[in-house]
Amino acid sequence: MSLHHSLLAVLLAAPLLAPAAQAQPKGLLETVKRHSVLGSTVADNGDQNPYALVVAPVSAGTIQKDDVLITNFNNAGNLQGVGSTIMRFTPATRKMALFAKIPRTLAGCPGGVGLTTAMTMLSSGWVIVGSTPSKDGTTATRGDGCLIVLDANGNVASVLAGPTINGPWGNMATIDRGTTATIFVSMAGFDIGAPEEDSPVVEKSTVLRLDLSIAPGRPPAVTKQTVIASGFGAQADKDVFLVGPTGLALAPDNSVLYVSDAIGNRITAIADPATRADSAGTGTEVTKDGMLKRPLAITLAPNGHLLVMNGLNGQVVELDPKTGQQIYARWIDPNRAQNPPGSGDLFGIAMTPAGDGFYFVMDEVNMLALAK
Amino acid sequence: MPFSALSRASCHAFGRGALLLGVSLLAHQAAAQTAASAPPAPPSPASGDQAGEPGQWTGWLKRDTLLGDAWGIRTKLGNYGINIGLTDANEVFGNVTGGMRKGWVGEGLTMLTVGLDTDKAFGWEGGKFNISAMNIRGRSLSQWYIGNLQTNSGIAATPTTRLWEIWFQQSFFNDKFDIRLGQQSIDQEFMTSEGSAYFLNTMMGWPMFPSANLYAGGPAYPLSSLGVRLRAKPGGGFTILGGVFQDNPPGGPFDDDGQLRGSTRWGGNFNLRTGALVIGEVQYAVNQPEDGQMDTPGTRRGLPGTYKLGFWYDSAGFPNQRYDAAGISLASPYSTGVANLQRPNFSFYGVVDQTVWQPADSSDPRAIGVFARAMGGPGNVNLISYSLNTGVTFKGFIPGRDDDVFGIGYGLANVSYGARGLDQDMRYFSGTPMPIRASESFVEVTYQAAVTPWWVVQPDFQYVWTPAGGVINPYNPAKRIGNAAIFGVRSTITF
């Protein structure tokens, strides 16, 4: 075919191709068909305010593969930083059950137990969950907290604590190699005092990398720890306990760790998170403001986009972390009882195993929901 | 061995590198793992760290209910899908000038609500059962001291203890549609205004038009009726409400609709013998996101508002305000004195709630809103031919008081031409210069102060012009009832 004919063919085909190109979704959120409320996350001891969401990668103990684990941050009296239960939702049966009830006071966990958005489950069956505890529901009585290792039956196996662990807060990112693993946790507790009317922002929050070895029959042991990011702002808050770096998500090749900087209202990127030996500071800014309204938990969708839960409205924002482009946002909790709608309702997020939707929590009604 | 004990053993196992911080506990776990073949004992609950653990009263000033979990009772009931609400409102009101006479009253309302989530209780998805009961006490300032139509307090009613609502609601299609069956008080869902609900005058709740014109004021607080209500949310910001209810809660004649009539006294009158009240309402929410709605960068949403249009139709016979069955004025000595019963009765209404200002910073909770609610119906069979509520509210009016609301409202009730005609006839046949009723209006200034989330204190001022439209003062027949200035304060505690 001559060049002339080739050009003609392209020109003729263009109108036919154009509609098909336009029909391609720009992202995941527009493909979601509906939001379904799956069940109450309130534990039988009254614990409430669901935060972390983790989809089980394997079946182990009482956990079935694809189960959803959910932490409760509040107790029956709705005091924050006092919740100590983890719920387990089984999609196949649509049943919610208690997975773990951790003692409120635990040796080696300074300040007690108040389970946060920091949680992961390893393919070896171990569950690691963060605690940022309080005695009175505020940061006035906050303890440094810890990371708690549970077996797959919900029993406490060990506790990780120390000077680098202070207010483990945001959703974890995990590299799981079976016998070894690397987890990333944001620490938002450093020097956070009691909540005031206008609490100071303390720029001491970090992202801690923990390299773990997992021997058969033994809980994960830390082989190395490195602060790979630091200087994020955090602030005590009379309504939401504290505001600090909350969401972590790894690029598919683990070359970048994305961090939601709630105080800075932005997403930043930490290069070489799995290998770097020093702190990248707050990293490189990916995107700021726009549709972000206090970004909390984040996750990476199969299309490489980040899904970011907003704390100050009921939206999840989809953005391309490579370009920094905010694509659009979807209202998944437009509850008009809050202003703006859904403000304070969202927190955790986790992709479905098939990657065709995501689980999220509706804090105001203590419900687990699925957008798919 | 508790991990904390291990941590003190050695703190130099690893820790190389400039940023390998805080190694002590972690290092020791690693060291312990390599040194021991048996798994370490799990950490035990720390007996020495129990001090200061939260109890029943920890954080009580900041929670939504005074009793919180109520020593675990709410949690235990919640495990069976049962939730309990208990509120207690008490108020003092007095008129310092005008009205029939000066005086002060105290009133109170205690409300108990029990809800059952059928999914939680026995696995029936989408079902809710609700039952409520109340104790009403004290006496009405308007009834005893002022004599106005638009009574000053929405909780004032004939004292009694009675069941209120008993209904079951089932939702379908992911809550897009639901149906409610049973004994219902329709003021909870129909004709509601978010803005007017901050005020204390009765007519800022259930409006003047149905209060004055329906049998016993209609199935509204403190009464209720059997009926069925449908609600659909088709999208696009629309909500459609429709229902059919028994129109006469006590079941008596129009001029004998006492709230204590028979079993109405305790709420056990499930009357189905009188007329049917058919009511429908279309609601349209503007600038309010819908579930699943997509926004793109740069999307700017205007100020939120809600607009409602509705109607009701009552199949019962309603007494003509002026004439008997022979068309003779009820004021005439030749009249039977029995008003002609005409049917049907109906009304159209509209409600507007619109935010007119809020700060650009979305985390700033302040907002100014306006509201208006108007309705009317035929003037021959209704005492009030139209009524209006309107006003403005300012949330966060005082800096630092985010949850307080300041409001100024206005209410108007217009006496119908039928009732005015009767006044003219009375004047004619009696030969005395009796007043001709016109309209009654009031202004209310209120401040709702959230002392704690569970305790609201609300000082209130109302001024009423031409009470009852301008009628003779029974305590001083030489004069009409004078314009009244009312002061009061209400305290509401949610347990």
Distance, in angstroms, between A106 CA and closest chain B CA?
4
Q: Write out chain B residues lying below 8 Å of A224, CB-based.
A: 14, 20
Q: Write out chain B residues lying below 8 Å of A223, CB-based.
A: 14, 30
- Specify the pLDDT at position B43: 79
Distance CA A138, CA A141 (A): 6
- Specify the pLDDT at position B10: 35
Q: Give the mean model confidence (pLDDT) for residues B445-474.
A: 97
Helix (H) or strand (E) holding A16: helix A3-23
Which of B30, B74, B75 faces A223 most closely, judged by CB atoms? B30
- Specify the pLDDT at position B46: 65
pLDDT digits (tens, 9 = 90+) for B251-292: 888 887 788 888 888 888 888 888 999 999 999 999 999 999
Token pair belonging to A75: 């107790």
- Specify the pLDDT at position B51: 62
Q: Over 90: is that where the pLDDT of A233 sits? A: yes
Token pair belonging to B71: 């020593």
Distance CA A186, CA B19 (A): 15
In the block, tokens 């307090």 appear at B153
Q: Give the mean model confidence (pLDDT) for residues A28-47.
A: 95
Q: Over 70: is that where the pLDDT of A65 sits? A: yes
- Specify the pLDDT at position B29: 42
A94 in reach of chain B (CB within 8 A) = no
Centroid of chain to Cα B449: 17
Q: Over 60: is that where the pLDDT of B70 sits? A: yes
CATH code for the structural domain at B71-290+300-494 = 2.40.160.180
Q: Write out chain B residues lying below 8 Å of A332, CB-based.
A: 291-292
> How many CB atoms sit inside 10 A of residue A304's CB?
12
Distance CA A55, CA A66 (A): 5
> How many CB atoms sit inside 10 A of residue A332's CB?
26
A272 in reach of chain B (CB within 8 A) = no
Q: Give the mean model confidence (pLDDT) for residues A320-334.
A: 97
Q: Are B226 and B268 in contact (CB under 8 A)?
A: no
A229 in reach of chain B (CB within 8 A) = no
- Specify the pLDDT at position B39: 57
φ and ψ at residue B343, rounded to 5 degrees: -135, 150
Q: Are B310 and B279 in contact (CB under 8 A)?
A: yes
- Specify the pLDDT at position B34: 36
Q: Are B381 and B321 in contact (CB under 8 A)?
A: yes
- Specify the pLDDT at position A4: 53
In the block, tokens 């409520």 appear at B132
pLDDT band at A35 (very low <50, low <70, confident <90, very high): very high
Distance, in angstroms, between B114 CA and closest chain A CA?
18
- Specify the pLDDT at position B33: 38
Cβ–Cβ of B58/A136 closer than 8 Å?
Answer: yes
Nearest to A210 by CA among B2, B3, B30: B30
- Specify the pLDDT at position B24: 40
Q: Give the mean model confidence (pLDDT) for residues A202-226.
A: 97
Nearest to B345 by CA among B389, B311, B309: B311
Token pair belonging to B393: 């509210």
A62 in reach of chain B (CB within 8 A) = no
Composition of chain B by helix, strand, coil, percent to 5: 15, 45, 40
A109 in reach of chain B (CB within 8 A) = yes
3-state secondary structure of B50: coil
Residue type, B141: L
- Specify the pLDDT at position A98: 97
Compute the mean pLDDT over every residue in chain B, rounded to the nearest whole number. 90
For residue A137, is it left (φ>0), alpha (ψ between -120 and 50) or beta? left
Q: Where are the domains of chain B?
A: 1-36, 71-290+300-494
Indicate the pTM of the whole model: 0.88
Q: What percent of chain A has pLDDT over 90?
A: 91
pLDDT band at B40 (very low <50, low <70, confident <90, very high): low
Residue B160 bridge partners (DSSP): B136
- Specify the pLDDT at position B49: 54
Structure-model confidence comparison of residues B59 and B48, the more confident one: B59
CA distances from A239 to A79, A235, A311, B430 (A): 11, 11, 12, 68
pLDDT band at B17 (very low <50, low <70, confident <90, very high): very low
Pick the residue from chain A with its C-alpha nearest to B286. A336
pLDDT digits (tens, 9 = 90+) for B172-203: 988 899 999 999 999 999 999 999 999 999 99
Token pair belonging to B345: 């009765």
pLDDT band at B117 (very low <50, low <70, confident <90, very high): very high
Q: What percent of chain B has pLDDT over 70?
A: 91
DSSP string, B81-142: TEEEEEEEEEEEEEEEEEESS-EEEEEEEEEEEEEEEHHHHHS-TTEEEEEEEEEEEE--HI
Q: Over 50: is that where the pLDDT of B9 sits? A: no
Give the strand pairing for B482-494 and B455-465.
antiparallel
Which is it for the CA torsion B187, B192, B197, B203, positive or negative? negative
Q: Where are the beta strands (DSSP E) in B396-475?
A: 405-415, 439-452, 455-465, 472-473
Give the strand pairing for B472-473 and A284-288.
unpaired
Q: Write out chain A residues lying below 8 Å of B62, CB-based.
A: 137, 238
Among the residue ranges A41-50, A191-200, B27-36, B225-234, the one predicted with the least confidence is: B27-36
Distance CA A329, CA A316 (A): 5
Q: Over 70: is that where the pLDDT of A344 sits? A: yes
Distance CA B248, CA B246 (A): 6
Q: Over 70: is that where the pLDDT of A200 sits? A: yes
- Specify the pLDDT at position B31: 36
3-state secondary structure of B298: coil
pLDDT digits (tens, 9 = 90+) for B127-176: 999 999 999 999 999 999 999 999 999 999 999 999 999 999 999 988 89
Residue type, B52: G
Distance CA B271, CA B284 (A): 33
3-state secondary structure of B168: strand
Distance CA B78, CA B87 (A): 18
For residue A117, is it left (φ>0), alpha (ψ between -120 and 50) or beta? alpha
Distance, in angstroms, between B276 CA and closest chain A CA?
33
- Specify the pLDDT at position B387: 98
Q: Write out chain B residues lying below 8 Å of A158, CB-based.
A: 3, 29, 40, 42-43
Residue type, A202: V
Distance CA B494, CA B86 (A): 6
CA distances from A210 to A164, A174, A183 (A): 10, 10, 5
Q: Over 90: is that where the pLDDT of A101 sits? A: yes
By the 10 Å C-beta count (0-12 exposed, 13-18 middle, 19+ buried), A269 is classed as buried
Compute the mean pLDDT over every residue in chain A, rounded to the nearest whole number. 93
Question: Across the A/B interface, how many CB contacts are shorter than 8 Å?
Answer: 219
Distance CA A252, CA A258 (A): 11
> How many CB atoms sit inside 10 A of residue B486's CB?
27
Q: Over 80: is that where the pLDDT of B343 sits? A: yes
Residue A331 bridge partners (DSSP): A315
Q: Write out chain B residues lying below 8 Å of A213, CB-based.
A: 30, 33
Q: Write out chain B residues lying below 8 Å of A29, CB-based.
A: 294
φ and ψ at residue B66, rounded to 5 degrees: -60, -40
Distance CA B215, CA B269 (A): 14
- Specify the pLDDT at position B36: 39
Token pair belonging to B385: 């031919």
pLDDT digits (tens, 9 = 90+) for B444-456: 999 999 999 999 9
- Specify the pLDDT at position B53: 84
Q: Give the mean model confidence (pLDDT) for residues B16-20.
A: 36
Cβ–Cβ of B58/A313 closer than 8 Å?
Answer: no
Token pair belonging to B492: 């509401």
Distance, in angstroms, between A253 CA and closest chain B CA?
24
pLDDT band at A5 (very low <50, low <70, confident <90, very high): low
Which of A136, A222, A341 faces B30 most closely, judged by CB atoms? A222
Q: What percent of chain A has pLDDT over 70?
A: 94
Residue B183 bridge partners (DSSP): B166, B226
pLDDT digits (tens, 9 = 90+) for B81-115: 999 999 999 999 999 999 999 999 999 999 999 99
Q: Please give the span between the terminal C-alpha atoms of chain A, in angstroms, as a whole number.
A: 46
The structural domains of chain A, ordered by start, are 42-190+200-371 (2.120.10.30)
Q: What's the number of CA atoms in the CB half-sphere (13 Å) around residue A268? A: 25
pLDDT band at A23 (very low <50, low <70, confident <90, very high): confident
Residue type, A298: I
Q: Write out chain A residues lying below 8 Å of B291, CB-based.
A: 35, 331-334
pLDDT digits (tens, 9 = 90+) for A235-294: 999 999 999 999 999 999 999 999 999 999 999 999 999 999 999 999 999 999 999 999
In the block, tokens 């329709």 appear at B186
